[in-house]
């Protein structure tokens, strides 16, 4: 495995674990501070997707190909949902990040997940994951 691929995989693994744990913690802390104003399904969705990010990060950190495949699937799902949000075809009320505008957060999420699709389909990255 070449060093560049290893660094890229580990960096994205850390990013995924930070995203997952950051969203989970912010959602839990916000829920403890203010009374829940969202349906339980929103809480369930956010917690499950956060846990998926953490699991993906752990898998990538161990260079597991299943984590690559799950991340590609998850990135595709996020890209489709962001497109639906941008086109105002759907509305999501479960946003947890308040210090950045929702549109800016969604834009960066869209760009990040598009990059994931490109990066994790590179031959060197595929080869580095067993």
Q: Are 129 and 70 in contact (CB under 8 A)?
A: no
Quote the pLDDT of residue 92.
66
Reported as a single tens digit per residue, the pLDDT across 59-82 is 999 999 999 999 999 999 989 988
Residues whose CB falls within 8 Å of the CB of residue 64, separated by 6 or more in sequence, listed in order: 129, 130
Q: What is the pLDDT of residues 107-121, one digit of tens each?
A: 888 999 999 999 999
DSSP 75-88: HHHHHHHHHHHHTT
pTM above 0.95, yes or no: no
Instruction: Report pLDDT digits (tens) over 13-47.
Output: 999 999 999 988 887 787 777 766 667 777 788 88
């Amino acid at each position: 495995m070449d060093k560049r691929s290893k660094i890229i995989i580990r960096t994205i693994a850390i990013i995924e674990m930070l995203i997952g744990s950051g969203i989970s913690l912010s959602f839990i802390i916000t829920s403890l501070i203010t009374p829940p104003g969202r349906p339980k399904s929103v809480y369930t969705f956010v917690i499950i997707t956060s846990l998926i990010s953490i699991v993906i990060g752990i898998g990538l950190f161990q260079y597991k190909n299943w984590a690559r495949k799950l991340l590609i699937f998850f990135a595709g799902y996020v890209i489709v949902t962001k497109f639906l949000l941008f086109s105002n075809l759907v509305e999501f009320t479960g946003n947890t990040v308040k210090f950045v505008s929702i549109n800016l957060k969604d834009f960066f999420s869209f760009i990040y997940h598009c990059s994931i699709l490109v990066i994790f389909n590179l031959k060197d990255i595929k080869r580095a994951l067993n």
